[in-house]
C-alpha cells in the first residue's frame, strides 16, 4: 500500500513539491546536535542482542508534553543503537550500576516525528532510519515502523516515551 502511495508521489512530484503537508522519511528531521540539546530520557539494555538503545526527545516538546494532555505537535523522538561492551570471549561486561556499557559508536539511528500537518497511518507521526553518519539508510523499509508502533496507538504510537511522560506526571 505504501509502495503504491510512493509511486503516486513520484508521478506527481511536481505538484507535491510545493505541498508542505506531504510527509515521508525525507521530511523527518535529524538535528545534528541532538545529543547535546535533547533530553536523553531513557537507556534500554537488550541483553539478548548485546545492545544498548539511547532514547532522546527535543526539550521544548518534552516541556509541553509534561504540562499537557497529549504529546505536542513537533515531538521528535530519536533512538540510537549502540553495541554493548563485551569481554574477549564475547560475554557482556556490566557497569558498576548493574547496567550494560554502551560503546561510543552508533550502529543505527531511528527517528519518529509528530507534525500536525501530516496525516499518516499512525496519526501525525512519520518515521526515518539513518546510518551512523546521519545519511538515510538506503535499504530502509518503513512498513514495519508503522505496523509495530500501531500496537501502541493508545499511547500515541510510542513504546517508551508516553510511559516516561505519564510517570513524570504522577
| Interface with ligand HEC (CB under 6 A) | 44, 53, 55, 77, 79, 110-112, 127-129, 142, 144-145, 148-149, 158-161
Nearer to ligand HEC, 96 or 139 (CB): 139
Instruction: Tell me how far, at minimum, the Cβ of 110 lies from ligand HEC, in Å.
Output: 4
For the stretch 57-78, what's the b/e string if a residue is b when 16 or more beta carbons lie within 10 angstroms of its beta carbon? bbeebbebbeeeeebbeebbbb
CB 92 within 8 A of CB 100: yes
In the complex with ligand HEC, the residue whose CB is nearer, 84 or 128, is 128
- Count other C-beta atoms under 10 Å from residue 22's C-beta: 17
Distance CA 150, CA 152 (A): 5
What one-character-per-residue DSSP string does 27-38 give?
A: GS---TTHHHHS
**Which residue carries 500536525 as its cell?**
116
User: Cβ of residue 109: shortest distance to ligand HEC, in angstroms?
Assistant: 9
Task: Give 12 or 107: the residue with its C-beta nearer to ligand HEC.
Answer: 107
Q: Taking the complex as a whole, how short is the minimal distance between the CB of residue 146 and ligand HEC, in angstroms? A: 8
Closest CB 74 distance from ligand HEC, rounded Å: 15
Cβ distance to ligand HEC smaller for residue 34 or 142: 142
Amino acid at each position: 500500500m505504501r509502495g503504491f502511495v510512493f509511486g503516486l508521489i513520484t508521478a506527481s512530484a511536481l505538484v507535491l513539491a510545493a505541498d508542505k503537508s506531504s510527509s515521508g522519511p525525507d521530511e523527518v528531521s535529524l538535528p545534528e546536535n541532538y545529543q547535546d540539546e535533547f533530553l536523553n530520557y531513557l537507556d534500554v539494555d537488550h541483553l539478548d542482542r548485546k545492545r544498548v538503545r539511547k532514547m532522546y526527545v527535543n526539550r521544548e516538546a518534552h516541556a509541553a508534553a509534561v504540562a499537557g494532555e497529549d504529546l505536542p505537535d513537533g515531538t521528535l523522538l530519536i533512538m540510537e543503537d549502540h553495541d554493548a561492551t563485551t569481554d574477549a570471549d564475547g560475554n557482556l561486561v556490566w557497569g558498576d550500576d548493574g547496567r550494560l556499557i554502551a560503546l561510543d559508536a552508533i550502529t543505527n539511528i531511528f527517528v519518529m516525528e509528530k507534525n500536525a500537518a501530516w496525516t499518516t497511518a499512525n496519526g501525525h507521526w512519520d518515521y526515518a532510519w539513518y546510518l551512523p553518519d546521519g545519511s538515510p539508510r538506503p535499504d530502509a523499509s518503513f512498513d514495519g515502523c508503522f505496523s509495530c508502533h500501531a500496537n501502541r496507538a493508545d499511547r500515541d504510537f510510542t513504546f517508551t516515551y508516553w510511559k516516561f511522560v505519564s510517570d513524570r506526571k504522577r
